[in-house]
Amino acid sequence: MSQLALDFGHRAALGADDFLIAGSNRGAVLWLDRWPDWPAPALTIHGPPGCGKTHLAHVWQASSGARRLIASKIAGRTPAEVLGELRYAVVDDIDPTRLDEPALLHLFNVVAERGGHLLILAEAPPARWPIGLADLRSRLAAAPAVAIGAPNDALIGAVFAKLFVDRQLRVGDEVVSFLLARMERSLDAARRIVAALDAAALTGHRNITIPLARRVLDDIEKTDKGT
Q: 86: which residues sit within 8 A by CB, 6+ positions away?
A: 65, 66, 67, 116
The helix (run of H) or strand (run of E) holding residue 212 is helix 210-225
Calpha distance 175→185 (Å, rounded): 16
| CATH entry 3.40.50.10800 includes domain 23-147 | no
In 3D space, the residue among 194, 188, 164 whose CA is nearest the CA of residue 55 turns out to be 188
Pairing between strand 145-147 and 67-70? Answer: unpaired
Q: Where in the chain do CATH 3.40.50.300 domains reside?
A: 23-147
Provide DSSP, 5-45. ----EEEE-STT-EEEE-TTTHHHHHHHHHTT--SSSEEEE
Per-residue pLDDT of the chain (227 residues; tens, 9 = 90+): 333 333 344 343 333 346 678 888 899 999 999 999 999 999 999 998 888 898 889 989 999 999 999 999 999 999 999 999 999 999 999 999 999 999 999 999 999 999 999 999 999 999 999 999 999 999 999 999 999 988 888 889 988 998 899 899 999 999 999 999 999 888 889 989 999 999 999 998 899 999 999 999 999 998 888 76
In 3D space, the residue among 51, 16, 9, 14 whose CA is nearest the CA of residue 33 turns out to be 9
Calpha distance 60→225 (Å, rounded): 35
Q: Which CATH architecture has domain 153-225?
A: Orthogonal Bundle (1.10)
Q: Where in the chain do CATH 1.10.8 domains reside?
A: 153-225
